[in-house]
Amino acid sequence: MTVAAALGTLLATPSACGSPAPAHGVQGAHGRRAPAAATPGPTRIPGLGDRLYRRIPADSRQVVAVYGEHRDSAVSRVVLYTRQGAGWRPVGSWPAHNGRGGWTEHHHEGDRRSPVGVFTLTDAGGVLADPGTRLPYDRDEGAYAPPAGWDEAHRHDFDYVIAIDYNRVKGTPPRDATRPWGADKGGGIWLHMDHGSGTSACVSVSREAMEVLLRTLDPAGDPVVVMGDRAALTA
């Protein structure tokens, strides 16, 4: 089953912890009343296990989940969730690509794998004008222009970008090349426009998806990205 199909099943299946408990318990097999169910806890983001879920800041109200097909695949799906009361509601879902080598828990420069983890989203920018985001937006046609040798398919990769705060200084433009953990740990990992195949380590989605993300993400909601392959996400 693909991630898209699995995610559809997860979203369509009612959560046990989200079901209301009967006010006076339910009828037991022998005519006795069973105890009323416990008060339900927060509805979990589908496909996410305790290890990564616990890393989401308590104040975060916006999560971009990147569901990778498997460890060595460049195919993924991005789902935007917003926190509503005790639960999370999906407000957008799009096909995506990640590093062409797949995923890794120990990313390093040049491995062509996207890092697994939970990272804040604080800064945006790109070649095009700000589409109406609340994130600090750095428009710079020169800084975000693709290298001269790139082919036509890659020309618009950086029209819009959102910096994933992996090995970078938060609060600086995405183009800032400072690497606090050292150059070997890689960096410059962004959400950006898709060109139809895997990336060097970034996550790419359509222009429509980037515009929705930019217009929805709000620093007041402490947005984060939770990203990885299915096995890593559910661990």
pLDDT tens string 205-215: 999 999 999 99
What is the pLDDT of the chain when averaged over all its residues? 85
For residue 33, what pLDDT band results from cuts at 50, 70 and 90? Answer: very low
Residue 68, token pair as written in the block: 């990778």
Position 42 in a domain = no
Position 150 in a domain = yes
Q: Of 96, 98, 125, which Cα lies nearest the Cα of 114?
A: 98
- The span from the CA of 222 to the CA of 31, in Å, is 50
Which domain, by its residues, includes 186? 48-234
Q: Are 124 and 164 in contact (CB under 8 A)?
A: no
Residue owning tokens 């416990």: 38
What is the predicted pLDDT for the residue at 179? 98
Choice among 97, 107, 192, 195 that is catalytic? 192
Position 94 in a domain = yes
pLDDT at 13 over 90: no
For residue 151, what pLDDT band results from cuts at 50, 70 and 90? Answer: confident
Let me know if 97 is a catalytic residue: no
Q: Of 85, 83, 48, which Cα lies nearest the Cα of 223?
A: 83
- The span from the CA of 176 to the CA of 12, in Å, is 41
Position 138 in a domain = yes
For residue 150, what pLDDT band results from cuts at 50, 70 and 90? Answer: confident
Position 66 in a domain = yes
pLDDT at 14 over 90: no
Indicate the residue type of 55: R
- The span from the CA of 133 to the CA of 219, in Å, is 10
Mean pLDDT of 27-38: 37
pLDDT at 56 over 70: yes
What is the predicted pLDDT for the residue at 4? 41
Position 210 in a domain = yes
Position 37 in a domain = no
Choice among 97, 107, 195, 202 that is catalytic? 202
What is the predicted pLDDT for the residue at 149? 79
What is the predicted pLDDT for the residue at 152? 78
Let me know if 17 is a catalytic residue: no
pLDDT at 9 over 70: no
Q: CB neighbours of 29 closer than 8 A, spacing ≥ 6?
A: none
Position 39 in a domain = no
Q: Please tell me the total count of domains within the chain.
A: 1
Task: Give the domain CATH number at 229.
Answer: 2.40.440.10
